[in-house]
Amino acid sequence: MPDLSPALRVLTALLPFCLALFIRLVIGNSRLTRTLISVGVLWFAVNVLMAPYALDLRTGIRNDMRGLRTLLP
């Protein structure tokens, strides 16, 4: 996804959560809407946590793992 603009990246992170909230407003509180909101929150969290690695996923994570190995005994 390196060719996406920053605004579009934010939109792809927020869209599932916002859709789940909208469905909850329309349908009401049910097991389905609670599940959709949980999945939307997880999707958003994964997107936020992985954002620093978006441009170069393999080398970014690899370098961070090497740095962690040097910090840990």
Phi-psi region of 28 (alpha: psi -120 to 50; beta: other; left: phi over 0): left
| Digit-coded pLDDT (tens) for 21-35 | 888 889 888 898 889
First to last CA, the chain: 36
Cα of 62 vs its chain's centroid, Å: 20
Domain ranges of the chain: 6-71
| Digit-coded pLDDT (tens) for 27-63 | 888 898 889 888 988 888 888 777 766 666 567 777 7
Per this entry, what is the length of the chain? 73
Query: Tokens representing 10?
Result: 């934010």
- Distance from C-alpha of 45 to C-alpha of 11, rounded to nearest angstrom: 13
The answer to whether the CB of 48 falls within 8 A of the CB of 13 is yes
